[in-house]
């Protein structure tokens, strides 16, 4: 019943496109992988953050617009996402003016989005969440984003209310993007759920030289139990219009001492919306944990 109601609501919104600029979008990403986790081997069909959503805006005047997004994750492999058909991802309502954008809801923090362009194995087993803290999609978050009139500089400041006795959180980032160069600095303070007195600082850089993109990030995580540091570097090479090679390596003692993550893979681009891909990832740590993943998959965006 829940999915039927949601689809009915989606149909109503689509039919209202004349009154408002509505976009229905989504991504289906599925891979078949061989997983060797601490000696336990199995073949898995994975749905890698497949999603469907609605987004758009309504102009109130020449300089003021309302923005909205309703995005949900679904599991293409077995239809079960945490016991449900759909689970909430980025959902917000905001207002955009010449002075910037103010929005509230549930969505990725400024610190998380700062590194999205250099994490080449995002949503796969090589995702940087395996070695970094701060990959948060926060609830009850209010965010301000600077206007496009600032040119290559974009700043974000977010306030996260825990709505409990815990300490409210703050996340912020400042990014510089001009031609081939991207630089960003970001921080979180008390953003993690059910955890107080934590600070996360992240530096991100990327540079595109012809067909090759070089990227990397450094993170410092501070908590009552001690500090942790980590880094990762990535390389993406557009060999031809169809073939893309990519690799990524990172080390960290933020989550687990001596955590290492290495990934290598390639994409075959069918079109702007469809691709096939393959990957190999090894995640290991000082405790003797050694996990290997080898997979092939398809992705379709709409």
pLDDT of residue 84: 80
- Whether 230 and 254 have beta carbons less than 8 Å apart is answered as yes
**CB atoms < 10 A from the CB of 216, how many?**
19
**Both structure tokens of 202:** 């992240």
Mean pLDDT of 131-151: 94
CA distance 250 to 34: 22
pLDDT of residue 20: 59
pLDDT of residue 197: 86
Q: What percent of the chain has pLDDT over 70?
A: 93
Q: Give yes or no for residue 1 having a pLDDT over 70.
A: no
Rounded-to-10 torsion of CA 275, 235, 205, 117: 10
Tens digits of per-residue pLDDT, 202-222?
Answer: 999 999 999 999 999 999 999
Walk me through the domains of the chain, giving residue ranges and CATH numbers.
2-37+44-301 (2.40.160.10)
Q: What one-character-per-residue DSSP string does the chain give?
A: -HHHHHHHHHHHHHHTTTTSEEEEEEEEEEEEEEEEETTEEEEEEEE-S-EEEEEEEEESSSS-EEEEEEEEE--TTTS-BTTBS-EEEEEEEEEEETTEEEEEEEEE-HHHHHTTTT-TTTTSTT-GGGT-S---EEEEEEEEE--GGGTTEEEEEEEE--SSSSPPEEEEEEEEEETTEEEEEEEEES-STT--S-EEEEEEEEEEETTEEEEEEEEEEEETTEEEEEEEEEEEEE-SSSEEEEEEEEEESSSSTTEEEEEEEEEEESSSSEEEEEEEEEEE-TTS-EEEEEEEEEEEE-
Q: Give yes or no for residue 137 having a pLDDT over 70.
A: yes
pLDDT-based confidence at residue 167 (cuts at 50, 70, 90): confident
Indicate the range of 105-109, 115-119, 242-246, 267-271 predicted with least confidence: 115-119
Tens digits of per-residue pLDDT, 65-75?
Answer: 999 999 999 99
Instruction: Say which residue the tokens 């825990």 belong to.
Output: 162
Smallest CA-to-CA distance from 58 within 17, 88, 15, 11 is with 17
Smallest CA-to-CA distance from 34 within 259, 279, 284, 300 is with 279
Q: Give yes or no for residue 164 having a pLDDT over 80.
A: no
């Amino acid at each position: 019943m829940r999915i039927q109601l949601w689809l009915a609501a989606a149909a109503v919104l689509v039919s209202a496109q004349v009154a408002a600029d509505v976009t229905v979008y989504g991504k289906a990403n599925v891979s078949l992988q061989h997983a060797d986790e601490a000696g336990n081997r199995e073949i898995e069909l994975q749905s890698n953050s497949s999603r469907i959503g609605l987004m758009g805006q309504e102009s109130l005047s020449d300089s003021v617009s309302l923005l909205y997004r309703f995005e949900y994750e679904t599991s293409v492999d077995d239809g079960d996402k945490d016991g449900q058909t759909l689970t909430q991802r980025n959902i917000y309502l905001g207002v955009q003016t010449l002075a910037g954008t103010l929005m509230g809801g549930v969505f990725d923090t400024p610190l998380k989005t700062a590194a999205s362009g250099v994490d080449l194995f995002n949503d796969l087993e090589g995702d940087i969440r395996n070695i970094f803290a701060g990959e948060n999609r926060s609830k009850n978050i209010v965010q301000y984003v600077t206007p496009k009139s600032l040119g290559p500089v974009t700043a974000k400041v977010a306030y996260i209310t825990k709505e409990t006795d815990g300490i409210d959180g703050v996340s912020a980032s400042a990014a510089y993007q001009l031609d081939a160069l991207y630089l960003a600095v970001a921080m979180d303070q008390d953003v993690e759920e059910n955890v107080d007195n934590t600070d996360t600082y992240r530096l991100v850089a990327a540079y595109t030289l012809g067909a090759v993109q070089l990227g990397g990030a450094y993170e410092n995580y501070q908590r009552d139990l001690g500090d942790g540091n980590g880094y990762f570097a990535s390389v993406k090479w557009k060999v031809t219009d169809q073939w893309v090679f990519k690799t990524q390596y990172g080390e960290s003692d933020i989550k687990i001492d001596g955590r290492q993550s290495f990934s290598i893979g390639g994409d075959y681009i069918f079109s702007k919306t469809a691709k096939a891909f393959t990957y190999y990832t090894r995640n290991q740590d000082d405790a003797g944990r050694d996990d290997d993943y080898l997979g092939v998959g398809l992705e379709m965006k709409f």
